[in-house]
Structures are given as C-alpha cells and as structure tokens.
Structure 1
C-alpha cells in the first residue's frame, strides 16, 4: 500500500503521537493525514482541503468528544467516491450504541486502542500486514 493516503480522525494528542510513532517505527510508507473531528475530515475528503488521492483507509475514534464519527460514516457510505473506503474504528470507550451503528455502516473493524508504545507498534504492525495483503481498487480519484 505504498504511496497511498490514510486519514486519522482523532482529537487525543497522545493517541495521535502514538500512531505517528508506530507508523515511523514500522516504516509504513503511506502518508498519514490528521483530522481533529468529523467536519475537518469531511473537508479533507470533499472540501477545499481535499486529500488527493482519496485515502484508502480511515482510522477513526467515533467515541471521542467532538468527533461525530457516525455522522461522517453515514455521509461517506452514500457518497459514490467515498463509500468503498476501508474504515477502522479504534477507540478506548465502550459504547454499544455507536458500535452497532458503526458496524451497520460497514466498517472494516471495531477495535480497542492499545495504550502503550510497544502495544501500539504491534497493533499497527498487524494492521499494516493486513493492508498490504488486501487488494484495493486501482481507480484514481
């Protein structure tokens, strides 16, 4: 999955730094873009700050305060250019309502955030292995 974009939607500074460090430690070649909330993410997907090419993967914490991830997922799933993006919910909060809603919006996975450095690296190493064996559309947007 070299030279592709990944969008992280999260507003926890410590978690963002852990993800950046894990990506660096693992050597993930994708460009990591950061959005603080669903509105920022939408602008990066369809607004004036649009990421090009469109990310193949979105990592989102739908349970963070000020991140309306269900709203973002709902808009993405009806948009012709965004509906096939792989979305992984990575959260530390158990919210069964949000979990059910996200699963009904065809997310690729709902996982709990790792809390410490090595655990974060191991976690993203496994995800990176998965991302590198699946096939993505070669269609350019």
Structure 2
C-alpha cells in the first residue's frame, strides 16, 4: 500500500569504484527522488560509518542509513564479509541491504540472500538504466516499504 506520509531516507552506498559512486549520485539527482546519498569506499569504511567510528563519529555528518547499497567486490573487506558482520550486529541488522553489483554469478546471489540481503540487483550498463533504477528504488523504499523507527 502507498505510504502518503513517506519521508526521504538516507542511503549509504559502499562501492570502491569512484565512477559508480558519482554516476549513482547523478542518477539519484536526475531521478528527482529526494533521498540523501552518502558513500564509502569499502567494507571497512562501511562498518566504521555504521558504528560511528573515526571520521564517521559525528551523527550529523554520518546519519544512520535507512538503506545500504552494497557492492560485493571491494578491497580490504568485500561486500560479503561486510554484509555478514552487519546482519550479525544487533544494532545494525535491521538496516535493509541491497546488493548492487556487477556480479551475476548464481553463487553470489544465493550467498547474498543467505546472509540477509533484502535484494540483489545487477548494476545497469548505462546511465539511463541507473536513473530508472534510482527512481524505482527511491519510490519503493520511501513510498511502499514501512521501515521501523530508529
């Protein structure tokens, strides 16, 4: 059912590819969905952000996300390891995680869902596809899904 009292959510994107992060930011703006997007470069930074460690200790500069977009193949700590830690943490496990990756391997899909991912999406191959994806994700997570209060 459509949620007429929908409020924009904070999206946290974990992706080591700077071009993908910039394109996603541009696509979100182009889609006219009013969500805030914050980005980190790998799984280590993702967990530091979520746990408010180091440079992410200021809640105003690093708000708790209502949704995480997670790439699987990142340095230091990949998305699979980060997802496993997020879903094992009682403070973080209720944050929905959408895997957004170039991997289309069946084993990655199965493992992602088994680890607790809410969705698994292959990255679109062009900007127009990314804009459409941001529109759909934005509408779905803002207008239809009812997330618990923090």
Alignment counterpart, residue 145 of structure 2, candidates 121, 124, 134: 134
Partner residue of 2:79?
69
Structure 2 unaligned regions, length at least 5: 1-5
- For normalisation by structure 1, the TM-score amounts to 0.88
Partner residue of 1:124?
134
Q: CA RMSD in A?
A: 1.8
Name the stretch that deviates more: 100-109 or 25-34: 25-34
8 A Cα contact 1:87 1:109, kept in partner: yes
CA deviations on 1:110-138 (whole Å, 9 max, x unpaired) are 11101211111011111111112111112
8 A Cα contact 1:63 1:98, kept in partner: no
8 A Cα contact 2:11 2:68, kept in partner: yes
8 A Cα contact 1:3 1:31, kept in partner: yes
Partner residue of 1:114?
124
Change (3 A) 1:90 1:114: same
**Residues paired across the two proteins, number:** 139
8 A Cα contact 1:25 1:121, kept in partner: yes
Partner residue of 1:33?
38
- For normalisation by structure 2, the TM-score amounts to 0.83
CA deviations on 1:83-117 (whole Å, 9 max, x unpaired) are 01110001112233332221101211111101211
For 2:66 and 2:85, the matched residues in 1 are separated by: 16
Change (3 A) 1:121 1:131: same
> 2:87 matched to 1:82?
no
